[in-house]
Structure 1
Amino acid sequence: MNRERFHGASTFSEYLETVGKNRELWHALARRAAVDEETRQRARAIPDRWKVIALTEDWCGDAINTLPVFDRLAEAVGNIELRVLLRDENPDLMDAHLTNGTSRSIPVLIIYDESFRERGWWGPRPAPIQEWVMTEGMQLDPADRYRDVRRYYARDKGRTALDEFLRILERATAGD
């Protein structure tokens, strides 16, 4: 990643204007996304400024349910800048961030410091639901599995994803 590539990527708002699949759902979840004050304070306490690239595609249900809260966090705190790139148009980034070393699962959020040095990455979904999907969830019919995943996201409201993301940032700063 470099400055030009990062700044050439879409902001989340710009990305929202381009989504074709699930457009209404993307916009509805973006309007409803909220980040509690404790999470905002925790993020503001993380030193330095951070550049974050989200790899996604508009058909991805996990992205629909997580990217709006990541964007809301970035808007609220000022030390995180989020940009969006399409997975299928950026295979070099995607292939360097495969789930379990094999799967092009999205979304993936890649965290860079101000020098565009990669400091960590998160994705494709919060650990508790990822573990469930990869074990019990795989025993279900896909429609039932996706219904249960949507229920998880509706209950969790992005809290677990944000917590995991902030832990990555906190570890990155602890290593400095």
Structure 2
Amino acid sequence: MELHEWYEKGLTPDQYIEKMTDHKENLLHVLKTFHLSGEEVSLVNKLREANWRVMVITEDWCSDAMMNVPLLLTLAKAADMDVRLLHRDDNLELMDQYLTNGTSRAIPIFIFMNEEGEEQAVWGPRAPAVQEMVTNYRSSLPPRDHADFDEKSREMITRLTETYRTDETLWQEVYRSLKTTIAERLY
């Protein structure tokens, strides 16, 4: 299936948010709180001129998506860029074309395409600064076969989710990473 066909299968942002069962309030909080600075006019104008669309591979249980998707939606709205969201677990054939490190079905993945449906840029699943933070969090976990691993892992995910929801400096790191990926193809 071509990217354009996948895109057409996707949900609009409103449809996706309406159907969310996990992290909906957190996603809406980030969406309401995150704003582009006035310095983004050039990027927004370039995106508008390029007439790109973006397809997102995601799941609403994913805390990375909970933070990253609203940042993309804010940029997309400013640039009049259409967005469609696809659930990873229902679209593994597409997901497997965008594996992280060639092996991981990590999400979200943002696939930017032109009017002809040709891929222009891909971003995800995490900004480098976020990946470093997650790696540090994980390094404090006991080994997988340890009796406390599951409990400590759940505690880590809870801490991470709260950080993603509230740490606006982290949002800026994600946005900077996303902007760099887009700008490399636009300018």
Segments of 5+ residues of structure 2 without an aligned counterpart are 142-152
Residue 139 (structure 2) aligns with: 139
Residue 52 (structure 1) aligns with: 54
Write the distance in 2 (CA, Å) between the matches of 1:86 and 1:148: 22
Per the normalisation by structure 1, the TM-score is 0.85
Post-superposition offset of 1:19: 0.3
Write the distance in 1 (CA, Å) between the matches of 2:168 and 2:186: 30
**1:77 aligned onto 2:89:** no
Deviations, residues 91-133 of structure 1 (Å, cap 9, x unaligned) = 1221111111111111111111111111221111111111332
Residue 127 (structure 1) aligns with: 128
The answer (yes or no) to whether the contact 2:58–2:107 under 8 Å persists in 1 is yes
Tell me: CA distance 1:157–1:12, structure 2 relative to 1, closer, same or farther (3 Å): farther
Tell me: CA distance 1:149–1:31, structure 2 relative to 1, closer, same or farther (3 Å): closer
Post-superposition offset of 1:145: 6.0
Correspondence 1:14-93 to 2 at 5 A: 14-46=15-47, 47-78=49-80, 80-93=81-94
Letter in 2 for 1:155: E
Letter in 2 for 1:144: M
Tell me: CA distance 1:17–1:171, structure 2 relative to 1, closer, same or farther (3 Å): same
Post-superposition offset of 1:4: 4.3
Q: CA RMSD in A?
A: 2.2
Write the distance in 2 (CA, Å) between the matches of 1:139 and 1:98: 23
Post-superposition offset of 1:149: 6.2
Write the distance in 1 (CA, Å) between the matches of 2:186 and 2:46: 11
The answer (yes or no) to whether the contact 2:54–2:111 under 8 Å persists in 1 is yes
Tell me: CA distance 1:28–1:145, structure 2 relative to 1, closer, same or farther (3 Å): closer
Q: Number of residue pairs matched? A: 172
Q: Return structure 1 stretches of 4+ with deviation > 6 angstroms.
A: none
Residue 114 (structure 1) aligns with: 115
Residue 96 (structure 2) aligns with: 95
Letter in 1 for 2:53: K
Post-superposition offset of 1:146: 5.1
Post-superposition offset of 1:31: 2.5
